[in-house]
Structures are given as structure tokens and as C-alpha cells.
Amino acid sequence: MFRLLFVLFIIIPIIEISVLMQVGELLGMWPTIGIVILSAWIGAKYVRQQGLATLQSVQAKMAQGEVPSSEIVTGLMLLVAGVLLVTPGFVTDIFGLSLLVPSIRQAIATYVQKHINVNAHGAGSQASASFYHGNTYENEGFSQTSNPESKVISHHQSDTIDGEYTRKE
């Protein structure tokens, strides 16, 4: 994680500054600033356009009862593309514009979806929990050894626990 943050906050800005200086030396200051502003404007326009299309696709899939996983990944990539395009510099603009190409986005989405682990127990399984008898404050720390006289009761969907408690302060 440290290496990623180091690259993001130290290396990328140094690369951006050196590229901006070289382009500025080649074209001049005002054309360089104009190109940076133009690329940010065009990028924001296309991110907005493709983001709205992705939002409509998400809504259509959800209306059909399907999970819009690829659309969610696409939306996140469009968000990253927008941030990269608004960030001043040519290197980030190249990465941002590459995320606007649907085939590149689809390849990245496929790669990400292959490497995401989904827990299959989520949606339709029964939940269970444990509750302790006795004074709640004696069982702080969720350890059975703090009060050896307490019994553990397994709570299932069909059980109902009814009781009273008093708060001791």
C-alpha cells in the first residue's frame, strides 16, 4: 500500500511536471495551458455522456432483477477516468482517455471480476447469533470466561427470546 501511495503522490506528479515542462518548452506556455484545459473539458464531457449511459444500463438491469456488476465496475472506472482527466497533466489525461475506450474498460472489468471473491453464503442463508444469559455488563468483551455461570443460547430463526433487563450504572 505504501508503494502505491508513493507512486500516486510522489512519482506521478514529478512525471507530470517534467512532461508539462517539456511540452511547454516545445509549444509555449499558453498553448500548453490551452491543451490541458481542452483535454479536461472534452474528457469531462465524454465521462458525463458515458456515465449517464452506464446509469441507464444499471437501472435497466435492476428493473429486470439482475445484478449490474459489470456496470458498477464500469461506473467506477468512469469515475477514475473523470478524476484523471480533470487532474492537470498529459500523463493522467492519457490514462483517463484510455479508460473512456469501451474495449479497454471491458477488458479491465473482466479482469477485476475474475479476481473478486464473492461469498456465496450472503443472500438466502439463515442467520444465527449467540446470546448470553445473565447480566450484560458481566459479559463485556464477548468472552465466556468472564462469567463461567452464563450459558450460551443459540438463536435460530424460529426461536423467540423474551425478557426484561435493568440498566446498572
Q: Are 55 and 95 a contacting pair, CB within 8 Å?
A: no
Higher pLDDT, 144 or 88: 88
Q: What is the pLDDT of residues 112-136, one digit of tens each?
A: 777 775 544 444 444 444 444 455 4
Q: What is the C-alpha to C-alpha distance for residues 95 and 47, in angstroms, rounded to an integer?
A: 13
Is the dihedral angle over the CA atoms 161, 162, 167, 168 positive or is it negative?
Answer: negative
Q: What is the pLDDT of residues 29-65, one digit of tens each?
A: 999 999 989 988 888 888 888 888 888 888 888 888 8
Q: What is the pLDDT of residues 140-155, one digit of tens each?
A: 444 444 445 544 454 4
Q: How many CB atoms lie within 10 A of CB 99?
A: 22
At 86, is the pLDDT very low, low, confident or very high (cuts 50, 70, 90)? confident
